[in-house]
Amino acid sequence: METVDYRGGTHADPGQRVAYDRHPPLGGAHDEVWASCNGVVYDRAVRTENMVHALEHGAVWIAYDPDGLDEAAVTALAERVEGQPYLMLSPYPGMDTPISVQSWGHQLKLDSPDDERIDQFVQALRANPYTTPEPGAPCDIDPRAFDPTNPPPFDPSEPGPDAMPVNGN
């Protein structure tokens, strides 16, 4: 498992990209709108800056490489996530492992959806008030700002020179 110390509460401008230092990211600057994260299973990759904001609220994000897992493996992950508070699942193209599990400042990369460390990670870090900058912040849907049925799309391109640094400076 990798851990990184990120400062919370750093918002990028609306629509601004963040130059993340990990893929998938596990913290840092993010959009002011969080991704819905109460047991949401996304069927397509979601804008990273929204997903990171959900981590700040205490969510655990299970990301998978859509080219690295078969349908049965994705279904097994979805069954763990669906309807569970502070948990979300989405594809994340181009990962270096089939599965990556993130909470704020923590990341575990895995090969199998059957790995028991997924449940251990979730149990230890989901909504953890000692590791989450905004414990108890909402993960519910805000229909005025984020539609989980049509989320902002993932952008695989390099963020560019106008991107906010991951540390916000």
CATH of the domain at 82: 3.40.30
Please answer whether residues 68 and 96 qualify as being in contact, where contact means their C-beta atoms are separated by less than 8 angstroms.
Answer: no
Domain that holds residue 35: 2-12+24-128
pLDDT cut 90: percent of the chain above it: 92
Is 79 among the domain residues?
A: yes
Is 112 among the domain residues?
A: yes
DSSP 8-class letter at 59: -
Is 6 among the domain residues?
A: yes
pTM of the entire predicted model:
0.96
What pLDDT sits at residue 117? Answer: 98
Is 157 among the domain residues?
A: no
Kindly report, residue by residue over 59-105, the tens digit of the pLDDT. Answer: 999 999 999 999 999 999 999 999 999 999 999 999 999 999 999 99
**Mean pLDDT confidence for 9-38:** 95
Is 168 among the domain residues?
A: no
Between the alpha carbon of residue 134 and those of residues 31, 44, 74, 101, 129, the distances in Å are: 15, 26, 29, 19, 8
**Mean pLDDT confidence for 40-56:** 97
Only one residue has tokens 């498992």, namely: 1
Overall domain count for the chain:
1
**Mean pLDDT confidence for 45-70:** 97
Is 122 among the domain residues?
A: yes
Q: At what angle do helices 71-81 and 117-125 cross, to 10 degrees?
A: 30
Is 80 exceeded by the pLDDT of residue 169? no
* Residue 50: count of CB within 10 angstroms of its CB: 21
Whole-number Å distance between alpha carbons of 27 and 132? 10
Kindly report, residue by residue over 129-153, the tens digit of the pLDDT. Answer: 999 999 889 999 877 788 999 999 9
Is 90 exceeded by the pLDDT of residue 124? yes
Calculate the average pLDDT of the chain.
95
Is 146 among the domain residues?
A: no
Please answer whether residues 95 and 23 qualify as being in contact, where contact means their C-beta atoms are separated by less than 8 angstroms.
Answer: yes
Is 142 among the domain residues?
A: no
Please answer whether residues 131 and 103 qualify as being in contact, where contact means their C-beta atoms are separated by less than 8 angstroms.
Answer: yes
